[in-house]
Structure 1
Amino acid sequence: MGKLAKRIAKSREGIDRDQLYEVAEAVKLIKSRATAKFDETVEIAMNLGVDPRHADQMVRGVVSLPNGTGRSVRVAVFAKGDKADEAKAAGADIVGAEDLVEIVQKGEINFDRCIATPDMMPLVGRLGKVLGPRGMMPNPKVGTVTADVTAAVNASKGGAVEFRVEKAGIVHAGVGKVSFDESALVENVKAFADAVIKAKPTGAKGNFVKKVAISSTMGPGLKIDPATLASA
Structure 2
Amino acid sequence: MPKFGKRYRADLEKRHEGELPIGEAVKELKKYNKTKFDQTVEVVMHLGIDARQADQQIRGAISLPNGIGATKRVIAFCSMDKVEEAKAAGATEAGAEDLVKKIEDGWFDFDVAVAEPAMMRVIAKLGRTLGPKGLMPSPKAGTVNPKVADTVKEFAAGKVEYRNDDYGNIHGIVGKFSFDDDKLTENAEAFIGHIMKLKPASTKGHYVKKIAISATMTPSVLVAE
Q: Does TM, scored on the shorter chain, surpass 0.5?
A: yes
User: Which residue in 1 is equivalent to 2:9?
Assistant: 9
**What pairs with 1:26-41 in structure 2 (closer than 5 Å)?**
26-41=25-40
Give the counterpart letter for 2:26 in structure 1: V
Structure 2 length-normalised TM = 0.93
> Which secondary structure state, in structure 2, belongs to the residue aligned with residue 32 of structure 1?
coil
In 2, distance between residues paired with 1:107 and 1:171?
29
Summarize deviations over 1:94-145 as a string: whole Å, max 9, x none: 1121121122223321111110111211121111112112222111233211
Q: Which has the higher helix share?
A: 1
Distance in 2, Cα, partners of 1:83 & 1:142: 21
Contact 2:177 2:215 in 1 (8 A): yes
The aligned residue for residue 54 of structure 1 is: 53
Structure 1 residue 67 and structure 2 residue 66: aligned? yes
Instruction: Give the corresponding residue for 1:154.
Output: 153
In the alignment, the residues of structure 2 paired with residue 76 and residue 145 of structure 1 have an alpha-carbon distance, to the nearest angstrom, of 12
**Distance in 1 separating the partners of 2:79 and 2:70:** 28
1:50–1:204 CA contact under 8 A, matched in 2:
yes
Query: 1:150-209 CA deviation, whole Å, 9 max, x = no partner?
Result: 210121123311111110000002110001110000011111111111111122122100
Amino acid across the alignment from 2:179: F
CA deviation profile, 1:60-115 (whole Å, cap 9, x unmatched): 12111111111121001011222212101211111121121122223321111110
Q: Flag the 1:112–1:5 CA change in 2: closer, same or farther, 3 A.
A: same
Q: CA deviation at 1:13?
A: 2.9
**Rounded Cα–Cα distance in structure 2 between residues aligned with 1:195 and 1:108:** 34
d(CA) in 2 for partners of 1:52, 1:132 = 18
Paired residues in the alignment total 222
Q: Separation in 1 of the partners of 2:181 and 2:208? A: 24
* Counterpart secondary structure, 2:65: coil
Which amino acid is the alignment partner of residue 155 of structure 1? E
**What is the rounded CA distance, in whole Å, between the counterparts of 1:57 and 1:5 in structure 2?**
38
* Greater Cα shift, 139-148 or 4-13: 4-13
Distance 1:96 1:169 in 2: 35
| Matching of residue 174 in structure 1 with residue 173 in structure 2 | yes
CA distance in 2, matches of 1:222, 1:179: 17
Asked if the contact 1:161/1:173 (under 8 Å) is kept, the reply is: yes
2:193 & 2:63 partners in 1: Cα distance?
A: 11
1:207 is aligned to: 206
Question: Contact conserved, 1:61 with 1:196, CA < 8 A, in 2?
Answer: no
Question: Partners of 1:15 and 1:109 in 2: how far apart?
Answer: 39
The residue aligned with 1:164 is 163
**Which residue does the alignment assign to 1:101?**
100
Aligned equivalents of 1:123, 1:166: Cα separation in 2: 28
d(CA) in 2 for partners of 1:168 and 1:143? 23
Instruction: Please give the root-mean-square deviation of Cα atoms over the aligned residues, in Å.
Output: 1.4
Separation of aligned partners in 1, 2:124 and 2:33: 41
SS of the aligned residue for 1:93 comes to: strand
Match of 1:229 in 2: none
In 1, distance between residues paired with 2:8 and 2:147? 46
What is the CA-CA distance between 1:34 and the residue it aligns to? 4.0
Aligned twin of 1:230: none
Q: Does 1:44 align with 2:43?
A: yes
CA contact (8 A) 2:77 2:119 kept: yes
Identity %: 45
